[in-house]
Amino acid sequence: MWLLQQLIPDHNTISNFRRDNASGIKQVFKATVSIAKYFNLIGGKLIAGDSTKLRALNSKKNNFNQGKIDRHLNYINQKLENYRQELAAADGDEKKEIRKDIKKQKQRKLKYELLQAELDNSENEQISTSDPDSRQMVLRNNITEVAYNIQSSSDGLYCISVDFDVTNANDCKALGKMVRRVAETLGTTKFTGLFDKGYHTGSELKAAQEMGITTIVAIPDISSASMVPHPAYSVSEFVYNKRSHSYKCPQGHKLTTNGS
């Protein structure tokens, strides 16, 4: 910027360049990782994965699911019914104003019916009108935002990023795909993957195990609703016997089933 005397591209130019060259940018990233491997800057022993949620241009009011569309349509239908009743009792100029209101509500109804048709023809549970690939997702606690979720993996030796993927889903189903892409990039499965509790999903851990990849994943906190009255009877205290395919309780008794 200094050498060019502050002659710089504006945000639209940068955005358009990224949009028009998405495939090329990914290839440049892969080439960068290959160069880092060549110069032994990637250890390939420990890989840490995490996500970053980036807010989309689409606001919450421009994101729709079935429940939201239903609420809007129900509200509009109720307003139309009220206007029809008022129209029957009105006269003169008052009727003219009510007809304007009816026309306005019918136009709004058409908008939501078109959104309903789009949702019906989509495989997704929600649609965004401004930034179509974005989705409403949980950021933390109960705070939600219409966003993208960028999954990235870094090597433990010099903290160099070796993989990324822009998604519109939460972390719970991401681990398997992440370690598979890293394995393809590094050409090996002999590494350990480190992830936080958001990635603790049985099917994803199984997928990594089947690839021969060791994973260290934080265990989520047990909700108060799932906690037992006494810690001695937590799930971790029940011992599984592979040979008899049975569990032994903390008091040493073999558990039996009633068939259901």
pLDDT of 171: 93
The ranges of the chain with pLDDT < 70 are: 224-226
Q: Is 149 helix (H, G, I), strand (E, B) or coil?
A: strand
CATH class of domain segment(s) 42-58+134-220: alpha beta
What's the maximum distance between 2 C-alpha atoms anywhere in the chain?
87
Residue 238 tokens, joined = 């029940």
Q: What is the DSSP letter of 254?
A: B
Predicted TM-score of the model (pTM): 0.70
In whole angstroms, how far apart are CA 72 and each of 17, 40, 64, 117, 208? Answer: 38, 58, 10, 15, 43
Residue 181 tokens, joined = 């892409």
Residue ranges covered by each domain of the chain: 42-58+134-220, 60-128, 227-260
pLDDT of 204: 96
Whether the CB-CB separation of 136 and 146 falls below 8 Å is answered with: yes
pLDDT digits (tens, 9 = 90+) for 26-70: 999 999 999 999 999 999 999 999 999 998 887 788 889 999 999
